[in-house]
Structure 1
Amino acid sequence: MTFQKFSMTAQLPSHVFVFLEIFSREGGIQSYVKDILNAYSALPVRGDVFLLRDGAEVENPLEPCPTLTFHYFKSASAMLGRAKLAIALLVHLLKHRPKRVFCGHILLAPLVQTLCKPLGIPYTVLTYGKEVWEPLSPTKQAALQNAEQIWTISRYSRDRACASNHLDPHRFEFLFCAVDGTVFAPQTKSPQLIETYGLSESKVLMTVARLWSGDPYKGVDVTIRALPAIAQSVPNVKYLVIGRGDDQPRLAQLAEALGVGDRVVFAGFVATEDLPQHYCLADAYVMPSQEGFGIVYLEAMACGVPVLSGDADGSADPLQDGELGWRVPHRDPAAVAVACIEMLRSQDQRCEGAWLRQRCLKLFDKAAIAQTLRELLNY
């Protein structure tokens, strides 16, 4: 079987992907990478995927795949795992001379540069958001500057990275995030979930976000501060917060202090497969945040739910500079309140679920990311 697989794919152009992790945790980056590899697997190429923190025991929905081979380097010692990956990657590069190496995180970029440059193998660095928004160490800056290309997910991420790390914007290419419209789609509000969360007869605002004290930029606190003003115009408003983290006690205390504790529902963790029916509980998705892109906006729009974002971040791309949603200053509760009232009471086209879904999927469905990848790889 191994020989048959090799014989079918050995003559195809080859690439190498190097990531921190894909399958051992859930998150926007991990979802994005899976979409890229899914699209890649349909091309007339073959790839080897090196994973530093994933072990062979993880559930990998992409295996088996005739054109992708996965190499796992999870170790009890982070240093040992990194050494094993470096040695295996060097041996692979020397033996197979791939057409290109794709580095999936800035933390791995110095290693990829060290191995690729002496061998004359071009490499591309994939960037996402805030990991490249601030000045990096000289070695990481050099790894970006020496990359043949840098792929990123939004204009904002490109501009922040360039300003902070002396990069040429013309060497960036865009590979936007995507949404699966067959999974995220409008559906009838679940009576069971309405009862579980106490949302009967309510106008529902919703956010899906990590609630970590060290990462408060999602804007849940700003939305809570906006609730008293929203409630004056929309008396039956409630705010459903999906996500978990150590910042939840502070957020709950803030809601109580503002007199809206009964309006804020903390749902905790919700599995990915259960998110679509949760989005469909919402009358508006609200996240006045600072995002590199914001896959959650795509998920909400694909479900026909109007969206609100910050006005100075990567959400400009999924929201198409305001064509598909409301964009407000991300730390301004008054602006959030005004926009939320409009969303809950307006006849604005951006609240028309069928139109919103159609526009979203035309730009950001799985076929769109596959087409962009083909163009970037000249296939």
Structure 2
Amino acid sequence: MLEALQSLYPQSNYDVFLKHDTHSLPEFSFLVHTRFHFSGNWSLPVRTPIFAAQLVGNGLRKRPTLVISTHLNFTVAAYWLKQLAGIPYWTVAHGIEAWDIERPTLQTALHHADRILAVSSYTRDRILKEQNLNPSKISILPNTVDASRFQIAAKPAYLLEQYNFQPEQAIILTVARLAEAKRHKGYDQILEALPQIRQAIPNVHYIIVGKGKDQPRIEQLIAQLELQDCVTLAGFVPDQQLCDYYNLCDVFAMPSKREGFGIVYLEALACGKPTLGGNQDGAIDALCHGELGALVNPDDVGEIAQTLIQILQGTYPNPLMYKPEALRQKVIDTFGFERFQKNLAEIIKNSPIGAEL
């Protein structure tokens, strides 16, 4: 978002406040006059109030044209700033943090936001239903994907060797954080579907990339289902290797049911991979209502199994899924950075703040 804003409005000055970071990443280039403010060196018990004080203090001193809160929890500080100095603010609603909001202070801050940028129609609809907001103040700004980082390639030889896979072996991949709160990602259902999938595709292998406190329970489930020989928990994978794992698989699958959007779907699609998601959350937006991939009932293990079998056997009734270059181009056209920037520019242009920037 910062890159898009600076491209659209290079004459503006930018102050960026980062709650948990201690420095900016060297591989990202920004306008010379961009100022970064870091709170990550403070201990966790005091970090939140110091971060909020930085926001409000700098806001009162510099009187910015607009404050954009990229996480709903930061919106409370933006609300205080608006009350004290009349400075408008926008906020971004991603997913789980935007649903079932019960904190009165956060509800108030959300209602006073000048614009809410929802990453998907699913997130927008849930906020509207739960918080009784004015629909005209919510715009949809889908997430984007770095197409230069995720590209089509052959199955990496070093990963085939590392896991003792054959090049023609059918591989299913999920990339997700293995946290107790993230069980909605759907990896349990894929594990439960594997015995049925193995009947049709005996040499199929399932890889889960990610780490978290839910791993011991997943390992127990794998043992209960006697899947030790066909499931690999790859653990944490560095960003520079993630593309290799997408290219290793034959289908990316994450039949989630509480996903605000799901950038991992875009990453897999940018690598030209057939992709499966759930039909009850933001994956609907990411997969363009089934145009870019398969949408299944995330609670129906049988449907998940049959759909993955179809995809792996080349019989799923969506020919685009088997045209890697066309699939990649479609996701770039729909969710690439240029499209993201155009979407953001249109939202700003049609808002009262547009004339001031």
The TM-score, its normalising length taken from structure 1, stands at 0.86
Counterpart of 1:41 in structure 2: which amino acid?
Q
Rate the CA distance shift 1:237–1:146 in 2: closer, same or farther, 3 A. Answer: same
SS in 1 for 2:213: coil
From the superposition, tell whether residues 168 and 285 of structure 1 become closer, same or farther in structure 2 (CA, over 3 Å): same
Distance 2:26 2:298 in 1: 37
- Tell whether 2:123 aligns with 1:152: no
Equivalent of residue 272 in structure 2, options 286, 289, 304: 304
Alpha-carbon separation, structure 1, partners of 2:60 and 2:227: 62
Query: After the TM superposition, which residues 8-23 of structure 1 pair with which residues of structure 2 at under 5 Å, given as runs?
Result: none
The equivalent residue for 2:186 is 219
Q: Which one-letter code corresponds to 2:207 in the other structure?
A: L
- The alpha carbon displacement at 1:60 in A equals 5.0
Once residues 45 and 223 of structure 2 are traced to their aligned partners in structure 1, the CA distance between those partners, rounded to angstroms, is 46
2:238 aligned partner: 271
Contact between 2:150 and 2:270, CA under 8 Å: does it hold in 1? Answer: yes
Supply the distance in 2 between the matched residues of 1:79 and 1:233 (Cα, whole angstroms).
53
Q: Tell me the equivalent position of 1:97.
A: 63
After TM superposition, the score normalised by the length of structure 2 is 0.91
Read off the aligned partner of 1:40 and give its amino acid letter.
L
Aligned to 1:357: 328
SS in 1 for 2:180: coil
Q: Which amino acid aligns with 1:355?
A: A
Secondary structure of the structure 2 residue equivalent to 1:42 = helix
Secondary structure at the counterpart of residue 286 of structure 1? strand
Superposed displacement of residue 64, structure 1: 5.6
> For 1:84 and 1:198, how far apart are their aligned partners in 2?
50
CA distance in structure 1 between the partners assigned to 2:143 and 2:110 by the alignment: 21
Deviation at 1:262, TM superposition (A): 0.7
Name the counterpart of 2:249.
282
Q: Which residue of 2 aligns with 1:37?
A: 2
The 3 A distance-change label for structure 1 pair 60 and 147 is farther
Q: Which amino acid letter does the alignment assign opposite residue 274 of structure 1?
A: Q
* Structure 1 residue 114 corresponds to structure 2 residue 85: no
Task: Indicate the SS of the match to 1:273.
Answer: helix
Residue 210 of structure 1 aligns with an amino acid whose one-letter code is R
Amino acid at match of 1:71: H
Structure-to-structure mapping, 1:174-323, within 5 angstroms = 174-200=140-166, 201-290=168-257, 291-323=259-291
Displacement, 1:41?
2.2
Which of the residues 90, 95, 116 maps onto 1:124? 90
Contact 1:38 1:62 in 2 (8 A): no
Paired residue secondary structure (2:149): coil
Aligned to 1:280, the other structure's residue is in SS state helix
- Write the deviation string for residues 49-105 of structure 1: whole angstroms up to 9, x where unpaired: 12222224x545446632421111234344543443344333332332211111122
| Alignment partners' CA distance in 2, 1:117 and 1:85 | 18
Q: Is the 8 A contact 2:19 2:48 kept in 1?
A: yes
| 1:276 to partner: Cα distance | 1.0
Q: How far apart, CA to CA, are the structure 2 residues paired with 1:116 and 1:60? A: 33
Asked whether the 8 Å contact 2:143–2:340 carries over to 1, the reply is: yes
User: Residues of 2 paired with 1:159 and 1:331: CA distance?
Assistant: 21
1:304 shift after superposition = 0.6
Q: CA deviation at 1:376?
A: 2.3
**Coordinate RMSD, CA, aligned:** 1.8
**1:8-30 Cα deviation digits (max 9, x unpaired):** xxxxxxxxxxxxxxxxxxxxxxx
CA distance in 1, matches of 2:185, 2:348: 34
Maintained 8 Å contact 2:190/2:304: yes
Distance 2:86 2:202 in 1: 65
The residue type equivalent to 2:213 in the other structure is: D
Counterpart of 1:227, as a letter, is L
C-alpha distance 125-197 of structure 1, shift in aligned 2 (>3 A): same
Checking the alignment, whether the CA contact within 8 Å between 2:91 and 2:116 is kept in structure 1 is: yes
8 Å Cα contact 2:115-2:137 kept in structure 1: yes
Instruction: Determine the C-alpha separation between the residues in 2 that align with 1:177 and 1:316.
Output: 13
One of 301, 304, 308 as aligned partner of 1:333: 301
Deviations 1:250-286 (A, max 9, x none): 2222222223221111111111111111101111001
Deviations for 1:135-157, whole angstroms, at most 9, x for unmatched residues? 32111111111111101100001
Gaps of 5+ in 1: 1-35
Moved more, 231-240 or 291-300: 231-240
SS for the counterpart of 1:41 is: helix
The 2-side partners of 1:99 and 1:76 are apart by: 28
Moved more, 67-76 or 173-182: 67-76
State the identity as a percent. 36
Secondary structure, aligned partner of 1:173: strand
Query: Taking structure 1 as reference, are residues 75 and 213 closer, same or farther at Cα in structure 2, changes over 3 Å only?
Result: same
DSSP 3-state at the match of 1:186 = coil
